Structure formats: C-alpha cells, structure tokens
Structure 1
Amino acid sequence: MFVLLSGLLLKPYAALYATLLHLMLKLIFAGASAVLSPSFGFVLAFIPAAVLLAYLTKRRGDSSLQKMINVAAVSLLTYLIGLPYMALILRYVSGQVMSLQSILFSGMLIFLPGDVLKIVLALTLERRLRPVLSV
C-alpha cells in the first residue's frame, strides 16, 4: 500500500527517496540477513515500482481508469522482479528446488486477492488525500 500511495501521490524523485528510506529502515530493523529472505526481492521491486507509478501518474494519470491500469502495471512489475529473486533465494540459499507452478502459487497467486483490495483502497485513498495534501 505504501508503494502505491507513494507512486500515486508523490513526484518520481520523492517516490524514489521514500522507497529508499523504506528499504533502509527494513535493513536497519530486520538486519542484513533480510537480503537473504525470499521476500526481499519484492521489497527491492518497490523502488522501481513506486518511481514508475509516480512517473506514469504525472504523465498521463488523471482518469480513474488510467490510474487503475498504471497501478496494475506496477503491481505486475513487482512480481516480475520479486518472483525470480524468491526462486533464486529458495534454490541457492535454502536449498529448495520449486517448480514454476509452485513459485507462482506461493509467491503470487495467493496474494492476488489482497493485491486487488490494496489497489482499490490505494485508489480510493489517493482520490481523498490529493485535495488535502495539495499535490
């Protein structure tokens, strides 16, 4: 949700700095071992996802439909970066060889309903926060 709201409400550089700060805080509080977590690839993916969403929103994001398409696209980008990282960590760090189906199920499919809910909530919050924040 943080990534979506950063991308929807901030300019690209501000979204970059916000997600870099998020990454640094995660590393500080979770420790360097977080890099070896299968989910860390998704955290890394937040950076380009937020920046891309901020760029797309700034360039062509006034309509609700366009914002929905933009958010869906960056959600896909998160999976495109996070899933291969997850597979590599599971295989080479944890020693678990998983099929593509297992990776897709455990790293994406079970999260899709929640992602759809986050997209709807982020778009609703963005519409209400934008006038208050004057962005």
Structure 2
Amino acid sequence: MKIKTREIVFVAIFTALTAVGAFISIPIGPVPITLQTLFVLLSGILLGPKLGALSQIVYILLALIGIPIFSGFSGGPQILLKPSFGFAIGFVFAAYIIGKITYKDINPKKIFVASIIGSVLIYLFGLPYMHYILNYVMKMNLSIVEVFKMGCLLFIPGDLLKLILANLVARKGLGIFRNQINGYN
C-alpha cells in the first residue's frame, strides 16, 4: 500500500486521538469507560477503511512496544494479558468495516448503520478475549453472562452517546476532512 505524507499525518493524528481517548478513563471494572471508541468510529468514517484501520494498528503496536498509551497509562507486551486488549483488536476491524461501508457512498443513514456495525464488531472481539483472560489467566471463573454484563451492558449508554457524537462530527466535517486527506485545499 503506497501512502502519502499527508495520509501518514492523518493516521498519526487518529493514533494520537485514540491514545488520548484511553487517558480519559473511568475505571468501572476490568474494562474502563474511555473515549477511544469515539475516535475509532471517526477514524473509519473520516480516513476510510485502510487508513482508519492503519491508525488503530499503529496504536496497538505503539502500546505493545512499551509506550504507555493504553487505558491506565499501560503499555508493553503485558497488555496482551489485560481483559480489555481484545477490544483494541476490535478497533482495527471496526475502523476498516466502517470505512468500507461509508467511504464511497456518504450519507447519514450509512454512517449511522456503519457506526453501529463497528461498535458491535468491537464487542465481538472484546468479549470473548475478556472472557478468556478473566477465566483462564486470572482464574476468576465467570460465566459468559457475567462477562457480557461487565464488558458490554454497562457500556451501551455511553457507546450510544459516542456513536451519536461521532456521526454529528462526521456530518459536519467529512467533506472538509476528506479534501484535506486528498490534498485539496
């Protein structure tokens, strides 16, 4: 994939925004409430599938090499053992799918539906990973229902707010943002 300097800058911006979103955190159990999903949704909508996913891959790689940009200011290979790491894996797929759905045909309904699909994808990766870590690494012996309650149900109201906010931001700035990425002033 050939990538322009301007595109690298926007990937870096969304990598940084995702990291900042992790720092704005409310710890409520094994998975804190953060603003990360807002920036994941926006990365897919505004950057498109490849660059949106790339921004999330870079975020994960930076954390894995030790930069403390995960929630709780954590980083390093040990983040693989955090119950929340699976959600970060879901970020990559969510950004890609959201971008794939919205990039060619931009309309508010598609953006909203794509954001819902992306949010669901994050949970589809995050919840099984969380279940595995809590039960087989931390030996907590929790049922799937208990993990669903602590890793999903608590977050739905906040996720809906972030989804709405991402869609409002996207509608206001999408044309301008995409023109900047493509080099039109």
Per the TM superposition, whether the score is higher than 0.5 is: yes
1:129 to 150, 173, 178: 173
Taking the aligned partners of 1:125 and 1:14, their CA distance within structure 2 comes to 18
TM-score (norm 2): 0.69
Taking the aligned partners of 1:20 and 1:92, their CA distance within structure 2 comes to 26
RMSD: 1.3
1:47 to 87, 92, 103: 92
TM-score (norm 1): 0.93
Task: Give the alignment of 1:21-32 within 5 angstroms.
Answer: 21-27=58-64, 28-29=66-67, 30-32=75-77
The alignment-based identity, stated in percent, is 35
Partner residue, 2:46: 9
Between 19-28 and 44-53, report the one with greater CA deviation: 19-28
Partner residue, 1:115: 159
Higher helix share: 1
Q: Residue by residue, what CA displacement relative to the aligned partner does 1:62-109 show, whole Å, maximum 9, x if unpaired?
A: 221221111101111111111000000011110011112211110000
Taking the aligned partners of 1:87 and 1:11, their CA distance within structure 2 comes to 31
Check the 8 A contact 2:108/2:171 in 1, yes or no.
no
Check the 8 A contact 2:90/2:122 in 1, yes or no.
yes
The number of residues matched between the two structures is: 134
Task: Report which structure shows greater RCO (CA 8 Å, sep ≥6).
Answer: 1
- Gaps of at least 5 residues in structure 2 are 1-37, 68-74
Taking the aligned partners of 2:118 and 2:42, their CA distance within structure 1 comes to 12
Partner residue, 1:88: 132
